[in-house]
């Protein structure tokens, strides 16, 4: 069955407002930009022309890292994040990638476990929030 959501490639600049609103609303807008954004592949889902879910994929040799994954609050729990992550994992599997990983907020661990990612290492603090490294081995 075809998904009602269509994932598309977007620009780094397009990701910023969603990242800011969801991840770091108390920080300045430029806090949500990464110096390496221009080297990443950015994905999003739009509903009625409004960008509501974003994620960025950074590839370094045979590793792919997901960063800045965010869905606007009024669109959460509707399957958008799952659809976007499935799309990204499918894209990663088509490449010569051995390891897919991300730093997950501790509260998001159950979500990522559903996609086969496992926690590696100990929890750590970043900007006063607890994170864990999660990994999916692809080879």
**What's the pTM value of the predicted model, to 2 decimals?**
0.92
CATH number for 7-98: choose from 3.10.100.10, 3.40.50.1000, 3.40.630.30, 3.20.20.100.
3.40.630.30
Say whether 31 sits in a helix, a strand or coil: helix
The DSSP call for residue 28 is: -
Distance CA 20, CA 102 (A): 19
- Spell out the domain ranges in the chain: 7-98
Tens digit of each residue's pLDDT (9 = 90 or more) over 33-92: 999 999 999 999 999 899 999 999 999 999 999 999 999 999 999 999 999 999 999 999
* Cα separation, 71 vs 19, whole angstroms: 8
Closest to 118 measured CA to CA, from 94, 90, 99, 97: 99
Instruction: Give the whole-number percent of the chain exceeding pLDDT 90.
Output: 87
Mean pLDDT taken over the chain: 94
Instruction: Quickly list H helices, 48-108.
Output: 80-93
């Amino acid at each position: 069955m075809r998904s009602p959501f269509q994932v598309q490639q977007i620009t780094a600049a397009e990701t910023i407002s969603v990242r800011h609103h969801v991840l770091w609303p108390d920080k300045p807008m430029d806090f949500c930009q990464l110096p390496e954004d221009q080297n990443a592949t950015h994905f999003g889902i739009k509903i009625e022309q409004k960008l509501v879910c974003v994620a960025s994929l950074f590839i370094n040799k045979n590793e792919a890292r997901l960063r800045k994954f965010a869905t606007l609050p009024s669109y959460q729990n509707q399957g958008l994040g799952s659809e976007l992550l499935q799309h990204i994992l499918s894209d990663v599997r088509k490449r010569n990638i051995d390891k897919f990983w991300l730093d997950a907020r501790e509260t998001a661990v159950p979500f990522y476990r559903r996609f086969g990612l496992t926690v590696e290492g100990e929890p750590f603090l970043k900007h006063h929030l607890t994170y864990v490294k999660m990994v999916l081995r692809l080879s």
